[in-house]
Amino acid sequence: MDYSLIDFKIMGDERGYLVALEGEESVPFKIRRVYYIYDTDRYAVRGRHAHHNLEQAIICVSGSCDFILDDGKERVTIPLNNPAQALYIKNNIWREFTNFSDDCVVMVLANQYYTPDDYIRDYNKFLEVVNSPKISDFTQKQSLTLSTVQKIDN
């Protein structure tokens, strides 16, 4: 599963804690959009989609929730409950989030403006996208075939 957890530097003193996020520094992309989710029913399921082309850093700035990631081959559940940590995900990952605590606030940083066409909202369509042969697979196959032909020629 292609995801990572980014630990941010915590600047704390006797007054409490502060985390500062900077695009292309602590967050590995230029930040074009920020949205946040709060006051969510514990058993609600948000997300249920993938993106063709989007990077996101997801931070549970208060409380806790569970993120379920699915790349078409495996499904993992990632509990988020640390305001100094981000879950970093890119395209072609189906995501669902649920099990929200009452005080849960999830903040999402994204590298693109809101683009409804970038969403894959149908799970079967998502499986088609992730299972379709990629150009890089094709190029690798071609070069294997070529090298085999060259070997036979020699």
Catalytic residues: 49
Tell whether residue 47 is a contact of ligand TYD (CB under 6 A): yes
Tell whether residue 32 is a contact of ligand TYD (CB under 6 A): no
Of 101, 86, 82, 126, which is closest to residue 43 (Cα–Cα)?
Answer: 101
Tell whether residue 36 is a contact of ligand TYD (CB under 6 A): no
User: Looking only at residues 91 through 120 of this chain, which bind ligand TYD when binding is defined by CB under 6 A?
Assistant: 114
Tell whether residue 38 is a contact of ligand TYD (CB under 6 A): no
Among 9, 30, 35, 79, binds ligand TYD (CB under 6 A): 35
Strand-pairing partners, residue 46, are: 97
Cα radius of gyration (the chain): 20
Q: Of the listed pieces 14-22, 29-37, 77-85, 129-137, which binds ligand TYD according to CB under 6 A?
A: 29-37
10 Å CB burial of residue 60 (0-12, 13-18, 19+) is: buried
133: helix, strand or coil: coil
**Residues found near ligand TYD in the complex (CB under 6 A):** 33, 35, 37, 46-47, 49, 114
